[in-house]
A and B are shown apart, each in its own frame.
Chain A
Amino acid sequence: MESVERTNASAQEVMLSPVILVPAVLNGLMAGAVYALVALGLTLIYGVLHIINFAHGALLTAAMFAAFFAYTLLGLDPYLAALMIAPLFFLVGYGLQRFVIGPTAHGEDRNYLLVTLGLAVIIENLLLYVFRADTRTINLPYAFDVIEIGAAFLAVPRVIAFVTVMVVAFALWIFMQWTDTGKAIRAVAKEKLGAELSGIDVAHIHAVTFGLGTACVAIAACLLIPTYYVNPTAGDAFVLIAFTIVVLGGMGSILGALVGGLFVGVVESFSSMFLGQSLGQIGIFVMFIVILLVRPSGLFGQQA
């Protein structure tokens, strides 16, 4: 009995040593970057349209399928494919908001919820119908290459993902700050009626924003596919994480999504290390509920 306790204690010590901790933190940051990108799309749409896009996960799944087939059918490397898939999904998102969500929701919150939920159901089940429930993966030649940083070995795809996310977030920030469209988006987010009165086409700006949010998940999909699998519900796992991040970082805040994403990545890395895979998953949900509950109004509780 005593010896068992002693081994447990020493196992704990081993887990808390820097040799384990540093890689856990770094891997968490790498994983968190992709979460951040998914959350970025969600928070952008929320910040401007004030709607929670329940179709976000389904769109992520669809983009993952696109990246998968770009590789298997066309032989396109996922990172190159992102250059095509992102614009394509921008158009998809633009079209969805302009021609489906906007016209059917009649500007009511409850309707936005239902319409985006309806879209999620349609996209997910269309994918299920066409590709069945099979789980698919791709084998990139360099998927298992590692980079050594101090005590940590980091998988190359994760490092690429991390760098890409930082670049995308920076580009998005520049776009929002300095371009006319970016300024129009911020104007609509702040004061819709005022923006409309000064000649901004609000329906167009809403659609552009939705398109940008969708392009974010498309890039995230391309970053995920080298190390993750795809099936018709693959995106769901990321969406609740993204919701958590968005709540944590503050709805509509780009920086918040970025920091929140990295933080959640680290938390997940630790909780699955100490609690195991399936309970680690619960950790995210519990965190989500707790954040939702104990940070009322301010971040989240205000009527959208």
Chain B
Amino acid sequence: MKTYLPIFVTVAVLALVPFVTASNVVMNFLVMTLLIALAGQGWNLLGGYGGQYSFGHAAFFGTGAYVTAILQVRFGINAWFGLLIGIAAGALVGAVIGALSFRWGLRGSYFSLVTLAFAEVLRIVASVAPITGAGVGTLIKLDLRPEAFQFQSRAPFYWIALGLVGLSLIVVRGIENSRFGAYLVAIRENEDAARALGVDAFIVKLAAMIVSAAITAAAGCFYAQYFLFLDAAIAYGTWISIDALLAPIVGGVGTLFGPLLGALVIKTLGETTKLVTGGAPGLDLVIYGLLLIAVVGLAPRGIAGLLSALIRPRFRFPSVPEQHHG
């Protein structure tokens, strides 16, 4: 239980925020931050722990979003149920893409490329298929009842997003502590060595991809309910693929709280840029790009790495051999 304590403390503290401020601007900012943190946690499981860098997590986000929306709009299915189906659909897409890619042994850059291509195919299909509303988009009818997963104020949305983030933290912590998690990290560090020791790399990567896709799809489902509007460029756009990888990398790739930390940093930077420049298009993303390069170049372990170096400057992992200088 002790390993889960930081999660409960974090969630409990964050849950108090709506009692401190009711400002729509603040709540909106925090909801978006949690959304990116959730999508980023999905990416983090596969990319951070498993070393498989997906450039197409929009495929899962968009599928979750569209399934939730379409089930309501076209089939009159309850939104809460839609959320579950949306997550399952995202997981299914993850299973298909993962099975295809890993079956053929795509690694490194090639995996990034193929995920990118899958997300693009889905985006193009969604932009022409009648069921998604094609160019017009899908609008979920306003129905401000908790049963319909819609609320008058933003606070309930915030708590639900926080709940989903908390759940994803528990899942990932559970994986961290499990044999499966150890296999996943072993594959990241050296896939051939892991295989030689009897790890079934295909199954482990596939399982990671499915859970990863499900977590990111949950973010998509939530997005649909929060904004009540989707089109192909939103649901399957590259923005979410980039945000989902940027948050964990900035926060600390392969760390539990990295995505949350990173989401907070990139959203703060993004919003500040928009504020300072008066909402000029593009500049916030320019900052993201610079941040990405700066983190990769200067702080490969992200903010979490910097913090732990600050807090415990003398601490060294025993497994890391000391560098001999001179």
Does the CB pair A110–B108 fall under 8 Å? yes
**A133 vs B280: C-alpha distance in the bound complex, in angstroms?**
12
- Once bound together, how far apart are the Cα atoms of A105 and B292, in whole Å? 11
Candidates B125, B282, B296; contact of A105 at CB < 8 Å = B296
* Contact digits for A110-150, partner B, Cβ 8 Å, 1 yes 0 no: 11111101111110111111001100000000000000000
User: Contacts A243-B113, A296-B104, A297-B105; is A285 near B281 (CB within 8 Å)?
Assistant: no
| Interface-side segment among B116-124, B137-145, B204-212 | B116-124
| Other contacts beyond A120-B289, A282-B121, A296-B106: 9, CB < 8 A | A106-B297, A110-B51, A121-B286, A125-B285, A279-B128, A286-B121, A289-B117, A293-B103, A304-B109
Report the interface size class on chain B: 35 or more
A117: chain B residues within 8 A (beta carbon): 55, 242, 292
Complexed CA–CA distance, A303 and B53 (Å): 13
Interface flags for A262-304 (1: CB within 8 Å of B; 0: not) read 0000000000000000110110011011001110110011011
- A52 adjacent to B113 (CB under 8 Å): yes
- Determine the distance from Cα of A118 to Cα of B113 in the docked complex, in whole angstroms: 15
Given A117-B242, A289-B117, A292-B113, the answer on whether A122 and B124 have CB atoms closer than 8 Å is: no
Q: Does A240 reach chain B (CB closer than 8 Å)? A: yes
B288 sits at the interface (CB 8 A): yes
Contacts A113-B53, A118-B292, A121-B285; A301 near B105 (Cβ below 8 A):
yes
Residues of A contacting B101 with CB < 8 Å? 293
Task: Contact check, A113 vs B109: say whether CB atoms are below 8 A apart.
Answer: yes
**Number of residue pairs spanning A and B whose beta carbons lie under 8 angstroms apart:** 136
A8: Cβ under 8 A from any B Cβ: no
Task: Check B289 against A278 for contact (C-beta < 8 Å).
Answer: no
Q: What would 10 A/B residue contacts be, using CB atoms closer than 8 Å? A: A104-B298, A115-B292, A121-B285, A125-B286, A129-B282, A132-B281, A232-B282, A279-B128, A288-B117, A292-B104
A103 at the interface (CB under 8 A from B): yes
Given contacts A103-B297, A121-B292, contact A113 B112 (CB under 8 A): yes
Closest A residue to B103 by beta carbon equals A293
Q: Which of B223-257 contact A (CB under 8 A)?
A: 242, 245, 249
Q: Which of A115, A240, A278, A296 contacts B117 (CB 8 A)?
A: A240
- For B259-292 the 0/1 string (1 means CB < 8 A from A) is 0000000000000000000001111011011101
Residues in A with CB closer than 8 Å to B296 are 104-105, 111, 114-115, 118
A17 to chain B, nearest CB (A): 29
B106 near A301 with CB under 8 A, answer: yes
Tell whether B306 is near chain A: CB-to-CB under 8 Å: no
CB distance from A59 to the nearest CB of B (A): 14
Q: Are B292 and A114 in contact (CB under 8 A)?
A: yes
The A contact surface, by secondary structure, is helix
A285 touches B124 (CB 8 A): yes
A300's closest neighbor in chain B, by CB?
B110
Interface size on A, residues (CB 8 A): 49
**Alpha-carbon gap, A33 to B117, bound state (A):** 22
A201: chain B residues within 8 A (beta carbon): none
A109 interface residue (CB < 8 Å to B): yes
CB distance from A242 to the nearest CB of B (A): 11
A120–B282 alpha-carbon span in the complex (Å): 12
Q: Which residues of B contact A279 (CB under 8 A)?
A: 128
Q: A119-B293, A129-B283 are in contact. Are A52 and B109 (CB under 8 A)?
A: yes
User: CB-CB < 8 A to A300: which residues of B?
Assistant: 106, 110
**Are A304 and B108 neighbours in the complex by a CB distance under 8 Å?**
yes
A100 & B121 in contact (Cβ 8 Å cutoff): no
Asked if A165 CB lies within 8 Å of chain B CBs, one says no
Interface string of A230-260 (1 = CB under 8 A from B): 0010000000100100000000000000000
Most buried by B among A114, A128, A240, A304: A114
Q: How far is the CB of A125 from chain B (nearest CB, A)?
A: 4
**A282 to B112 Cα, complex, angstroms:** 19
Contact bitstring B12-28, A, C-beta under 8 A = 1, else 0: 00000000000000000
Q: Least Cβ distance of B320 to chain A in Å? A: 16
Inter-chain contact B107/A129, CB cutoff 8 Å: no
